[in-house]
Amino acid sequence: MEAKKRNQSCKETIIPYLPYGVVTGILSKLPVKSLLRLRCVCKSWLNLVSAPQFITTHLHQSITNLSIEKLHIIIARCDFHDHRLYKFNLAAEKIDHILEIKSHPKLKFIGSSNGLVCFTYAGGSLFLYNLSTRVYKEIKPYGDFRYFDDRYKHGFGYDHSTDDYKVVKEDKDGFYVYSLRSDSWKKVVQHFPYHGLAVASGTLLNGALHWLLLDTIWMEPLAIVAFDLIDEKFREIPLPDFSTSAFKSELSRVKLLGGCLCILPLPHTGHEFLIMKKYGVKQSWTKVEIKAPYHRFMEPLALFYNDEALLLIDFVELVLYNTREGTCRNFVLQGMPDTNTKTFVVKAAYMESLVSPIMGGESKAISRIK
């Protein structure tokens, strides 16, 4: 009893003497897992860590100081009887969270932004889920449309102008946008104003989602189309000049790499990539080659300041490649069930955050969605 009183006295006398700015600065540099534990230290720290301003500060720290230690990987299990999302910790090289989805195997990954993951399954409701805090929000479909069909464009991203997260979806009847802040859907255009097939979800950069549209017969690039999440209008990004290159027929999708738009080749076709070093400038498209050993498929997931690139090999293997020294290091997926690796697919690089999918309401932490 005496020791308990001393500990309580210690908390009441030491913590209040730490300047607020000092406490904020120290805590903002800690990983999410540590912050979730520190919320239990005292009420003032709970209020601090839960405050919107602190969540924004912590997110900014993570973005500006991105390293391999802060990056996680989202892995989906594509088993007919069971679907799960795994969060793989690159620093510890182990699975540190599993989200079970029991009721239907048809899971579709829509995208991730600032620590929130957007996905749907069974063609029904959407879910926004923070894999670190384990807080989720279910988004009901709008009207009669339910399915996120591969024939239609879709994506998920952050609108910094209104501090809002938005889901976009094309349907045969128009193009729709969901706003998390207003918790509502709206139609923005009657029809998608471009022709072509997009084989991947929209890639977020500079407040807009980007799709590489391909000819449905020859599968050659037609255009890069961006949907601005702020003014909710479409614009076109210039393609590279393909007049003297056979590379055109090998391109399949646009991704984000090192803060730049990157056009990736089709699986099994090579290790050359096109990067737009200056956004919106056609002349800035540059061909980049990564000469890392690989088998049938390779995709760069992230570039780091120390000349390292995180590569995805054959959809399931993760490799850290040093572009300057030409050395490789494989990550072992510890914690994965002992099963056929073909049932697991790496979906995206993921950065932890405290961002909540709930705006202005109570939330619930879970590890399973039924």
Instruction: Give the pLDDT confidence of 192-215 residue by residue, as tens digits.
Output: 888 888 888 899 999 999 999 988
Q: By the 8 A CB rule, do 206 and 163 touch?
A: no
Site of tokens 């409701």: 125
Comparing 246 with 179, the larger pLDDT belongs to 179
pLDDT at 370 over 50: no
pLDDT at position 269, please?
Answer: 57
Which residues, at least 6 apart from 19, have a Cβ–Cβ distance to it below 8 Å?
A: none
pLDDT at position 200, please?
Answer: 85
Closest CA to 114 of 180, 169, 186, 175: 180
pLDDT at 279 over 70: yes
- Beta bridge pairs of residue 330: 319
State in Å, rounded, how far the first CA of the chain is from the last one. Answer: 45
Q: Does residue 205 sit in helix, strand or coil?
A: strand
- Confidence at 177, pLDDT banded by 50, 70, 90: very high
Amino acid of residue 186: K
pLDDT at position 249, please?
Answer: 62
Rounded Cα–Cα distance for residues 234 and 345 (Å): 31
Which residues, at least 6 apart from 306, have a Cβ–Cβ distance to it below 8 Å?
A: none
Comparing 147 with 134, the larger pLDDT belongs to 134
pLDDT at position 251, please?
Answer: 67
pLDDT in tens, 282-305: 999 988 877 766 656 778 888 776
pLDDT at position 365, please?
Answer: 47
Burial 338-358 (b: 16+ CB within 10 A, else e): eeeeeebebbbbbbbbbbbbe
This prediction's pTM: 0.85
Rounded Cα–Cα distance for residues 252 and 230 (Å): 27
Amino acid of residue 57: T
Percentage above 90 pLDDT, the chain = 27
pLDDT at 9 over 50: no
Burial (CB count <10 Å: 0-12, 13-18, 19+), residue 304: middle
Closest CA to 299 of 309, 311, 316: 311
pLDDT in tens, 52-107: 999 999 998 888 777 777 788 888 876 666 677 888 888 888 888 888 766 555 67
DSSP state, residue 365: B
Mean pLDDT, the chain, rounded, equals: 80
Domains with residue ranges and CATH for the chain? 2-62 (no CATH), 66-369 (2.120.10.80)
Q: By the 8 A CB rule, do 130 and 116 touch?
A: yes
In this structure, what is the dihedral angle of CA atoms 360, 205, 94, 358, given to the nearest 10 degrees?
A: 10
pLDDT in tens, 212-258: 998 888 888 899 999 999 999 999 999 988 765 556 666 678 888 87
Helix boundaries (H) for 29-171: 32-38, 43-50, 52-64
